Amino acid sequence: MKFAIASQALVGAVAVSALTLPRSIMKRARFIDLAQFGSFPTITPEQAHSEAEQVNGNFSDGPQFDGSSESSSSNSKTPVAGEEKATTAAAAGTCDRNNPGVRFEWRNYSADDKKAFVNGIKCLMDAPSSGNFQGAQSRYEDLVSVHQQLTPTIHQRAVFLPWHRYYVYVFESLMREECGFDRAFPWWDETLDSGKFAESDIFTDAYFGPLPGKTSDGQGTCIDTGTFGGLTLHIGPGSGFTDHCLARAVDESLTTTVSASFVSDCNSRTTYDDMRGCQELGPHAYGHNGVGAVMAEVQASPGDPVFFLHHLFVDHGFRIWQNADASRTTTINGCADAANPCTPITMDYVLTSNGLRPDQTIADVMDTMGGFLCYRYDY
């Protein structure tokens, strides 16, 4: 199998950033050229702040937004009542707003649940591809292929947030229906790890594997330990299909930018598409670029499974923006395409996963407790 990487022993040939390479990994590290991955386009935090509007609303989540008087759990040692509502609601067409599924922040997720989550992802990686998705060699890569093929229509336009909310639903339904995952779903509050992503226990061998720093000569490190150690990716970089390793190259100067103030400045926008553009080119983009390598590659970034924790964070920001005004679950604005003048997006816009799961409309996913989806976040 041919890899687009350079394998080198660390004996002076490559100077590696001292950030996050444990000694045991340094002895046998494999490296990969980062140039092939590129990066997500960004705006600066200063630009977002200069254009911020007056904050209007309580930007948080929890029972106060679903009509329940119950407080959210801070522990997920046992499955939460209603945890599978996000997938069963689609079949029933209903959602008990007083008892939705709850997505728990990674710190509020038990060690057993964390392990079950990564094992569920690994199950998808070990399952055969359906054969319907270009380049895919596993059920997980069916997901990656969908993102790669749709990239031109789902980024830097109004559909970005609803489509990725739908995409996370597709991922979750595969986890539950095909790999038996029966726990509450997690999300990662990246603002709590701003500037220190590599210190999160997400990036340990027990879960997603390490988050090494970029080498001084611009290379990433192949992840050879942890649940996803030694993984070969077949989709990407870009629109290609070249075998390569799962690699990371953290830049904590970029992860520092994924801050609560940046999220708040974006969420201060009163119109959907202004908020969407700020979030997409702001915290979303810096999270991808900060982890680096595969995650920084726009088309095939789901090849790194931490992609889904990141997009659960992005969706959390979207939901709490919606909580500030009920009309934000029933209206949308912005461009549906790149034409000039563009076609205005509507709630009837169809969200597709190219047959991986049934198509839905934006109207189906704008309210996370509207009948098709059925979840909120723990805060």
Is the full-model pTM beyond 0.85? yes
- Residue 247, beta-bridge partner list: 222
Residue 59 — very low, low, confident or very high, per pLDDT cuts 50/70/90?
Answer: low
- Run of H or E residues at 221: strand 219-222
Residue 371 — very low, low, confident or very high, per pLDDT cuts 50/70/90?
Answer: confident
Residues whose CB falls within 8 Å of the CB of residue 225, separated by 6 or more in sequence, listed in order: 25, 205, 209, 210
Return the pLDDT at 71. Answer: 35
Task: State the CATH architecture for 6-69+79-377.
Answer: Orthogonal Bundle (1.10)
Count the alpha carbons within 13 Å of 86 in the hemisphere toward its beta carbon: 29
- Among the listed residues 230, 140, 232, 133, the one whose alpha carbon sits nearest the alpha carbon of residue 179: 140
Between 71 and 33, the more confident residue is 33
Exposed, middle or buried by CB within 10 Å (0-12, 13-18, 19+), for 114? buried
Least confident of 76-90, 172-186, 202-216, 231-245: 76-90
Q: What does the alpha-carbon distance between residue 310 and residue 164 come to, in Å, rounded to a whole number?
A: 11
Residues whose CB falls within 8 Å of the CB of residue 234, separated by 6 or more in sequence, listed in order: 135, 136, 137, 141, 241, 243
Residue spans of the domains in the chain: they are 6-69+79-377
The answer, yes or no, to whether residue 89 has pLDDT greater than 70, is: no
Return the pLDDT at 94. Answer: 83
- Among the listed residues 62, 166, 169, 187, the one whose alpha carbon sits nearest the alpha carbon of residue 117: 187
Residue 55 — very low, low, confident or very high, per pLDDT cuts 50/70/90?
Answer: low
Q: What does the alpha-carbon distance between residue 301 and residue 117 come to, in Å, rounded to a whole number?
A: 19
Return the pLDDT at 224. Answer: 97
pLDDT average, residue stretch 250-273? 97
Between 368 and 20, the more confident residue is 368
Q: What does the alpha-carbon distance between residue 247 and residue 228 come to, in Å, rounded to a whole number?
A: 11
pLDDT > 90 fraction of the chain, expressed in percent and rounded: 80
Q: What does the alpha-carbon distance between residue 103 and residue 122 come to, in Å, rounded to a whole number?
A: 20
The answer, yes or no, to whether residue 58 has pLDDT greater than 70, is: no
- Residue 202, beta-bridge partner list: none
Concatenated DSSP letters of 235-263? SBSTT-B--EE-EE-B-HHHHTTS-HHHH
pLDDT average, residue stretch 91-105? 86
The answer, yes or no, to whether residue 200 has pLDDT greater than 90, is: yes
Residue pLDDT, tens place only, 280-318 = 999 999 999 999 999 999 999 999 999 999 999 999 999
The answer, yes or no, to whether residue 75 has pLDDT greater than 90, is: no
Return the pLDDT at 19. Answer: 45
Q: What does the alpha-carbon distance between residue 275 and residue 268 come to, in Å, rounded to a whole number?
A: 7
Q: What is the DSSP letter of 213?
A: B
Specify whether the CB–CB gap between 320 and 260 falls below 8 A. Answer: no
Residues whose CB falls within 8 Å of the CB of residue 145, separated by 6 or more in sequence, listed in order: 133, 134, 135, 136, 235
Residue pLDDT, tens place only, 128-176 = 999 999 999 999 999 999 999 999 999 999 999 999 999 999 999 999 9
Residue 195 — very low, low, confident or very high, per pLDDT cuts 50/70/90?
Answer: very high
Between 89 and 239, the more confident residue is 239
pLDDT average, residue stretch 54-74? 53
